Amino acid sequence: MSARMRDEAEGLPGPARVPPAEVLLDAAADYLDLELRPSLEGYHAFQLRVCVNVLRLVARELRLGPAADARARASLAALLGSVADTDTATVAEAQARGAAPDDVLVAAMASGALPLDSPALLAHLRDGLRDALAIHNPRWVQPDGRRDG
């Protein structure tokens, strides 16, 4: 659903209002998983599970993705800022080439300006991985195996 459609729907009363896309995806996944899957076997049951997993992944991406992206951008900016404070040449050269922020990070690591055992780098990578797993396979970051999010 487009942002314009969502904005228009929020102004409508009761039943005319359309739920957010992630809610619709969750509802479709629940129907397929809870109502339709028990009636299927073999190949079609497997394909339905694949579809359910895709729907749930897209719903999590819509729900969690924007905040994860914002955290990653802020973390990367802080990391590159700390490198620029100590090695302006490496960062300036990469930025002058028009390198993307991730490429600037790679250049800083390759030049030794950002040590691979830097606590800030390890935290950036760990947090990014945690956010990615929360979207792509939340059971890997939730010890009890819940499928929330």
Question: Which range has the worst mean pLDDT, 82-86, 131-135, 138-142?
Answer: 82-86
pLDDT digits 0-9 by tens, 34-86: 999 999 999 999 999 999 999 999 999 999 999 999 999 899 888 888 776 66
Q: How far is CA 34 from CA 17, 25, 37, 133, in A?
A: 26, 14, 6, 24
The token pair that represents 11 in the structure block? 């102004």
pLDDT digits 0-9 by tens, 17-32: 788 999 999 999 999 9
Average pLDDT over residues 85-108: 74
Please state the pTM of the whole predicted model: 0.71
Average pLDDT over residues 126-140: 92
Residue 98: predicted pLDDT: 73
**Binning pLDDT at 50, 70 and 90, where does residue 15 land?**
low
Contact 76, 114 (CB under 8 A): no
113 DSSP assignment: S
Place of tokens 């809870």: 34
Q: Nearest-CA neighbor of 147 among 67, 65, 60?
A: 60
